Amino acid sequence: MAWWLAHSRWRGKFLLEALVALPLVLPPTVLGFYLLLALGPNGPIGKLMQALGGPSLAFTFSGLVIGSLVYSLPFVLQPLQNAFATVGKRPMEVATTLGASKWDAFFSVILPLCRQGFLSAIVLGFAHTLGEFGVVLMIGGNIPGQTQVVSIAIYEHVESLHYANAHGLSVILPGLSFLMLMALYAFNRKVKWIHGP
Partner 1 sequence: MGLKIQICLQKSDFQLVVDTTLPTDEIVAICGPSGSGKTSVLRVLAGLEPTVSGNIIFQDHCWLSAQQFVPPHQRAVGLVFQEPGLFAHLNVSGNILYGRKRSKNSAQAIDLDHLLNLLGIRHLLTRQVNTLSGGERQRVAIARALAINPHLLLLDEPMSGLDAAKKHELIPYLKDLQHSLAIPIIYVSHDHHEIAQLADHLLLLENGQVKAQGSIQELATRLSLPLAHQPDAEVMVNAVVDGYDPVYQLLRLTIDDIKLWVPGRQRAIGEAVKVQILAKDVSICLDRPRQTSILNILETQIDSLMDEGNGQMLIKLCLPSSAILARITRQSSERLALKAGQKVYAQIKSVALL
Q: Which residues bind partner 1 (CB under 8 A)?
A: 90-91, 93-102, 104-105, 108-109, 112-113, 115, 195-197
Closest CB to partner 1 among 182 and 191?
A: 191
User: Measured from the CB of residue 85, what is the shortest distance to partner 1 in angstroms?
Assistant: 16
Closest CB to partner 1 among 104 and 175?
A: 104
Closest CB to partner 1 among 113 and 124?
A: 113
Picking from 52, 31, 2, the residue whose alpha carbon sits closest to that of residue 133 is: 31
**φ, ψ of residue 143 in degrees (nearest 5):** -90, 115
Closest CB to partner 1 among 99 and 145?
A: 99
Degrees, nearest 5: CA angle 128-65-82? 45
| Distance, CA of 2 to CA of 76 (rounded, Å) | 9
User: Measured from the CB of residue 128, what is the shortest distance to partner 1 in angstroms?
Assistant: 28
Residue 122's SS3 state is helix
User: Measured from the CB of residue 166, what is the shortest distance to partner 1 in angstroms?
Assistant: 45
User: Measured from the CB of residue 96, what is the shortest distance to partner 1 in angstroms?
Assistant: 4
Closest CB to partner 1 among 29 and 108?
A: 108
Picking from 49, 53, 75, the residue whose alpha carbon sits closest to that of residue 62 is: 49
User: Measured from the CB of residue 181, what is the shortest distance to partner 1 in angstroms?
Assistant: 23
51 in Cβ contact with 83 (< 8 Å): no
137 in Cβ contact with 148 (< 8 Å): no
User: Measured from the CB of residue 191, what is the shortest distance to partner 1 in angstroms?
Assistant: 9
Closest CB to partner 1 among 93 and 131?
A: 93
DSSP string, 71-87: HHHHHHHHHHHHHHHHH
What distance, in Å, lies between the first and last C-alpha atoms of the chain? 29
What size, in residues, is the chain? Answer: 197
